[in-house]
Amino acid sequence: MGESAVTVMASLPQSSPVSSLSPPEVPMELHVQNRVKLVRALRDHLMAASQPVRGFVLLQGGEERTRYCTDHAELFRQESYFAYLFGVREPGFYGAIDVLSGQSVLFAPRLPAEYAVWLGEIKALSYFKERYMVDMTYFVDEIAQVLYDLDGESVKPLLFLLHGLNTDSKNFSKPAEFKEMEKFETDLITLHPILTECRVFKSKLELDLIQYANDVSSEAHVEVMRRISADMKEYQLESIFLHHIYMYGGCRHCSYTCICATGENSAVLHYGHAAAPNDRALKEGDIALFDMGAEYHFYGSDITCSFPVSGKFTNDQAAIYNAVLKAHDSVIKSMSPGVSWIDMHKLAEKIILESLETFGIIVGDIDEMAAERLGAIFLPHGLGHLLGIDTHDPGGYTKGMERPKEPGLSSLRTIRELKEGMVITVEPGCYFIDALLNPALEHPNLSKFLKKEELDRFKNFGGVRIESDVVVTSNGSRNLTNVPRQTWEIEAVMAGEPWPLKQKQLPNGLA
User: Which residues of the chain form contacts with Mn ion (CB under 5 A)?
Assistant: 302, 425
The contacts of residue 2 (CB under 8 Å, 6+ apart) are none
> What is the Cα–Cα distance from 165 to 418, expressed in whole angstroms?
22
Closest approach of Cβ 303 to Mn ion, in Å?
A: 8
Residue 264 CA from chain centroid, whole number: 25
Q: Toward Mn ion, which CB reaches closer, 217 or 425?
A: 425
Q: Toward Mn ion, which CB reaches closer, 290 or 449?
A: 290
Q: Toward Mn ion, which CB reaches closer, 264 or 302?
A: 302
Q: Toward Mn ion, which CB reaches closer, 57 or 200?
A: 200
C-alpha to C-alpha distances, 326 to 117, 234, 450, 499, 504, nearest whole angstrom: 58, 27, 22, 21, 20
Secondary element (H or E) of residue 261: strand 259-262
- Classify 267 as helix, strand or coil: helix
Q: Where are the alpha helices (DSSP H) in 265-311?
A: none
φ/ψ of 490, rounded to 5, equals: -60, -45
> What is the Cα–Cα distance from 433 to 376, expressed in whole angstroms?
11
Q: Toward Mn ion, which CB reaches closer, 61 or 293?
A: 293
Closest approach of Cβ 391 to Mn ion, in Å?
A: 6
- End-to-end CA distance of the chain, in Å? 49
Query: Which phi-psi region, left, alpha or beta, contains residue 127 (left: φ > 0; alpha: ψ -120 to 50)?
Result: alpha
φ/ψ of 192, rounded to 5, equals: -55, -50
Q: Toward Mn ion, which CB reaches closer, 80 or 425?
A: 425
**289, β-bridge pairs:** 261, 306
Q: Toward Mn ion, which CB reaches closer, 103 or 411?
A: 411
Starting at the edge strand found earlier in the chain, the sheet holding 259-262 runs 259-262, 287-292, 303-308
Closest approach of Cβ 296 to Mn ion, in Å?
A: 17
Closest approach of Cβ 483 to Mn ion, in Å?
A: 14
Closest approach of Cβ 302 to Mn ion, in Å?
A: 4
Closest approach of Cβ 144 to Mn ion, in Å?
A: 42
Closest approach of Cβ 385 to Mn ion, in Å?
A: 6
Q: Toward Mn ion, which CB reaches closer, 317 or 425?
A: 425
Closest approach of Cβ 467 to Mn ion, in Å?
A: 5
